[in-house]
Chains A and B, each alone.
Chain A
Amino acid sequence: MSAVPAKIRAFVKQLVQLSLVDGCVSAEQVAGILEYLEKNPPANPLASLQAYHKAIAVEIAKGEARVEHAGPVTAEALAAIASALSKRYARPVSPLATANPTLLAGLRVRIGDDVYESSVAGQLAALSAAS
């Protein structure tokens, strides 16, 4: 189904497993892997590295709660969100706040594939879809 060949997929899967420490991406591990790959390039280095990049980006997104907010958000609120999500996903989650005035009011938290919508813009969109 995917354009990435099965061999590369399996190889990248192994690399990703090696890059994780306690379920989180470790910068040291990734640096070590890149160094190893430079010295011992795989069969298709470009495709392998691109696939590795994509997979690591997905892993990083899983441990990063991107909090979009319309109004001001306190550091305590961000910490509370991060701790609640850490508990829910059973892995350390770090918050990353970005202002998004199009939300009108409220918050939108994105972690991995999941989106927690608690904004006025989201509710209005849901209302318009229901009508």
Chain B
Amino acid sequence: MSTVLAQIESQIAKLSSKAVRKNTGVITTVADGVAKVSGLSEVMYNEMVAFPGGVIGIALNLGEDEVGCVILGDVSQLKQGDEVQTTGKLLSVPVGKGLLGRVVDALGNAVDGKGPIASSESYPVEKIAPGIMARKSVSQPLFTGIMAIDSMIPIGRGQRELIIGDRGTGKTTIAIDTIINQANINRVGLASGDPKFRPVYSIYVAIGQKNSNIVRTIAALEAAGALEFTCIVAAPAADNPANQYLAPYSGAAIGEWFMENGMDALIVYDDLSKHAVAYRQISLILKRPSGREAYPGDVFYLHSRLLERAARLDGKGSLTALPIIETLAGDVSAYIPTNVISITDGQIFLETDLFNQGIRPAVSVGLSVSRVGSAAQIKATKQVGGKLKGELAQFRELAAFAQFGSDLDAKTKAQLDRGSRIVELFKQPAFSPISIELQVVTIYALQKGYYDTADLKKVTATSVSIREFFKARQDALLTEIRTKAALDKDLEAKIVAALDAWKSTAA
């Protein structure tokens, strides 16, 4: 028996005396969150390197005799001459359902004070997007809960739809509304016990935002009960640019876990303009050659490789991306906006003028487009709202023309009146998404002329009243619309009967 023990002891002795090989380097300079290191002859591109004091960095510039590393932590303790070690690992973040309801930083560490993240798996932050064969075309809808978007610029699961507009035009609100709507749909779907129901989990990535704004967003999600289906990746303005640069990729990795495991996820990048600015800052400090607007040459690849990771996979799940871009004075032809417009499958353009006129959400229907979403739109919405975009386009044309004279024929007056009513109907307060069945009813009422008698200023209130009536008294009918997802003659008759019943109570 003693020989057995001796054998084990010798094995332990071998293990404990085994030399660990590390490739090392020495810090030559530290400035602006970037360390230049001599040595590290075997470091890999994007490899994590360990600085003294548990600080982590990433090797981004592999020079002949120097390595440029961005530091993801406190740089105040680092100094020239400190030893740096390679780790042999690429940066990865924890993934899984344990992240739902949590707020994490760009490295996946909890920052919400609710304890460590319950996760047994991790995914690399940088990953090559799924290839051609793995993908499937977009055909399932992702409802935003915003009538103007769901009826005219529909979004499908796996799509990349850009939200673009000036500051203070309600870009984040649209994204938050969409997240809240997913939570509402998830609750109804999970309660129904339908085995075919696929919930959508959300990831909100806040890049370079004020901490107070992030707190407001979390509060809005919590108040709407959406936080339990959402993970927030926060890289606020106070964070170093390296974390701001990495945050969207970390969020994408978290979303990819849902997609790879047969679930659907929605990711919001708020916003990619600040992400590009953070990357520009890092690139300039690393002395990479700068191009237009001082952005580095690979700023297109920066966003294309991120957004390409959103996809619908054959036999698996999907990842839908809603990137946000902030424009200056409505200039969509600036460098970063044009880049992201060309990568995405459409854009929702928000206009300051519309916002100031009280048309909220301030969606510019003429400039907004969804390239693949119409394939994902349900039949009921197509039936009731198929012509709305054209009608609104005609209305805008006529409205511009009507400004020059008051002598208009009856037909033009009728078209103008109808256009104004559609605009009023699409007004919707923040953080109150409308379910698709209620949207169908609301627009159906428009098509049948139920708002024609109402005063123009009361159209919005009338639509709210219709929805309240249906929610309170026509629950079975709403469920039928939701499950059938198309209007047949029988269903139409039922909706008309219910609308008549509403009319009699409202009168």
Chain A residues at the B interface, C-beta cutoff of 8 Å: 1-2, 4, 9, 106-107, 109, 112-118, 122-123, 126, 129
Contact = CB atoms under 8 A, between A and B. Distances in A.
Nearest to A12: B65
B66 A2 contact: yes
A107 B42 CA distance: 22
Nearest to A129: B54
5 closest A-B pairs by beta carbon, nearest first, are: A118-B19, A1-B63, A116-B19, A113-B39, A113-B41
A40 B280 CA distance: 44
Given A1-B61, A113-B41, A129-B54, A118 B20 contact: yes
Interface centre among A2, A113, A116 (most CB of B within 10 A): A113
B493 to A, nearest CB: 69
Contacts of A9: 64-65
A63 to B, nearest CB: 14
A9 B66 CA distance: 13
6 contacts: A2-B63, A109-B19, A114-B22, A115-B85, A118-B17, A126-B20
A116 B39 CA distance: 15
A66 to B, nearest CB: 12
Contacts of B286: 1
A2 B64 CA distance: 8
A113 B19 contact: no
Contact of B21 (A107, A114, A126): A114
A107 B25 CA distance: 19
B447 interface: no
Given A1-B68, A115-B21, A115-B85, 15 more contacts: A1-B61, A2-B63, A9-B65, A107-B19, A113-B39, A114-B23, A115-B22, A115-B23, A116-B21, A118-B17, A118-B18, A118-B19, A122-B20, A123-B16, A129-B50
Interface string B57-98: 000010111101000000000000000010000000000000
Interface of B: 16-25, 36, 39-42, 50, 54, 61, 63-66, 68, 85, 286-287
Contacts of A113: 23-25, 39-42
B84 to A, nearest CB: 10
Given A109-B19, A113-B24, A2 B40 contact: no
A117 B23 CA distance: 11
A84 to B, nearest CB: 10
A112 B19 contact: no
A73 B42 CA distance: 30
A129 B52 CA distance: 10
B57 to A, nearest CB: 15
A12 to B, nearest CB: 10
A118 B40 CA distance: 20
A13 to B, nearest CB: 9
Nearest to A105: B17
B20 A117 contact: yes
B107 to A, nearest CB: 16
B332 to A, nearest CB: 35
A120 B313 CA distance: 50
Contacts of A112: 41
Contacts of A129: 50, 54
A71 to B, nearest CB: 13
A9 B54 CA distance: 34
A93 B66 CA distance: 25
